[in-house]
Amino acid sequence: MICLDQMVLPDHRYRRFMKVWDFKKVDSLLKQAKSNNPHEGYGLPRIFRCLLLQFLEDLSDRELEVFLQENNAGKWFCGFLLNEDTPDHTVFSKARKKIGTDLLSKIFENLRSQRKTQGYMNEVFTFIDATHLIAKASLWEERDEALKQKYETLNNEVLPKGNYSPPPFLWIKKS
């Protein structure tokens, strides 16, 4: 008889992932969100692992459904048996809504604290990149200045001030 556990290589990346993340706390958090069973008997902890695989493998809901049907390591990671039916693609979106952003944030906070405890993560600095915001703000300032100069140069009251937009080449600051 063949066991699914034997079919997954000992150094498979899913096994390595399971070694560094203790799912007990996650499972207990997920079991608190039991009502309105959107996971159709699979259990929300197993479906969460499916969603985690979906993220790791960059799969759509339909691709995840096929992945779990065909991939033994994926079945093993999510806790399915070799001959067990895996979820339909509709189950994933329902479970995602059931989990919600608050619970998901608690789960990933748990992952972060586990990584810190194990020494895999160190929070010395936090960087916030506001380059995009600054660039956009200066672009709008330059646009407003170009509009102002255009009106002053033309000295034309006929131009509707609210609807006129200069061509894009006027927005670019020449150096």
Helix axes 89-118, 24-31, angle to 10 degrees: 140
Residue 149 has pLDDT above 90, yes or no: no
Q: What is the spatial distance between Cα 83 and Cα 3, in angstroms, rounded to a whole number?
A: 10
More confident site: 89 or 32: 89
- What pLDDT, in 10s, does the model give residues 105-148? 888 888 888 888 888 777 766 666 656 555 656 666 777 777 77
Output the CA torsion 17→21→25→27 (10° steps). Answer: 0
CA distances from residue 75 to 24, 78, 117, 164 in whole angstroms, order as listed: 19, 5, 29, 60
Query: In the predicted model, what is the mean pLDDT of residues 88-105?
Result: 87
pLDDT value of position 53: 93
Q: What is the spatial distance between Cα 154 and Cα 136, in angstroms, rounded to a whole number?
A: 27
Residue 160 has pLDDT above 60, yes or no: no
Cβ pair 130, 140 in contact under 8 A: no
CA distances from residue 150 to 39, 136, 145, 157, 160 in whole angstroms, order as listed: 61, 21, 9, 12, 12
Query: In the predicted model, what is the mean pLDDT of residues 76-96?
Result: 90
pLDDT band (50, 70, 90) for residue 2: confident
pLDDT value of position 140: 66
- What pLDDT, in 10s, does the model give residues 27-74? 888 887 765 555 567 888 899 999 999 988 999 999 999 999 999 999
pLDDT value of position 93: 87
Residue 98 has pLDDT above 90, yes or no: no
**54-91: burial string, b at 16+ Cβ within 10 Å, e else:** beeeebebeebbebbeebbbbbbbbebeeeeebbeeeb
Residue 166 has pLDDT above 70, yes or no: no
Q: What is the spatial distance between Cα 89 and Cα 75, in angstroms, rounded to a whole number?
A: 15
pLDDT value of position 80: 93
Nearest of 85, 54, 84 to residue 67 by alpha carbon: 54
Dihedral sign, Cα of residue 101, residue 106, residue 107, residue 113 = positive
Amino acid of residue 18: M
